[in-house]
Amino acid sequence: MKLIILDRDGVINLDSDQFIKSPEEWIPIPGSLEAIARLNQAGYRVAVATNQSGVGRGLFDMNMLNSIHAKMVKKLASAGGRIDALFYCPHAADAKCACRKPQAGMFLEIAARFNVPLAAVPSVGDSLRDLQAAATVGAAPMLVKTGKGKATLAAGNLPDNTLVFDDLAEVVTHILNP
C-alpha cells in the first residue's frame, strides 16, 4: 500500500498564529488540494495527523473542529481528492499526552489503522514537531516552506534525511516523478 501522512495547518491550508477556529478561517494553500487529488489518482492513501490544541485551550469545540474538517473534505472532493483517515490531538501542549506531536501516538494509530509499518512512508509537515514525530516511527520526514516551514528551516536541527520542498505540490511531484 502506498501511504502518505500530512499535517493540516501550514501544509494543506494557510496557518494562523491565532489558530484556525472556524470553517471561514480554513483556506487551502494554492495547489494543495490538487496535489492531494494527484496522490489519490496515483493510488496513495492519504492520512492527516494534526495537533489541534485550540480544542484543549477552549478556543473552539469539537463541533467546530468537525465543521472545519467537513469544509476541508468538501473542498478536496470538489478538486477530485479525498483524505482516507484524519487523526487529531485535541489536547493543549501541557497535557503531556501521547498523541500530540512530536510524540508518535497519532502515527502509531495510522500504522494500526492501515496495518502497515511506517518505515520510509512520506510524512509532510511545516514544523519541527511534525518532522520529529515522523522520524520517531521511521517515516520519511519532508518539510514544506509553507506555514511555519521557512522559520522551521531557518531554526535548523531537522531530523536526519529531512527533504525540503516549497509546498505540498512540489512534494507530490517529487514522489510521483522520482
pLDDT in tens, 49-99: 999 999 999 999 999 999 999 999 999 999 999 999 999 999 998 888 999
pLDDT value at 178 more than 80: no
Is 9 known to be catalytic?
yes
pTM equals 0.97
- Tell me the C-alpha distance between 24 and 32, whole Å: 17
Domain ranges of the chain: 2-176
Options 3.40.1130.10, 3.40.50.2300, 3.60.21.10, 3.40.50.1000; CATH of 2-176 = 3.40.50.1000
**Do 69 and 48 meet the contact criterion of CB atoms below 8 Å apart?**
no
Is 84 known to be catalytic?
no
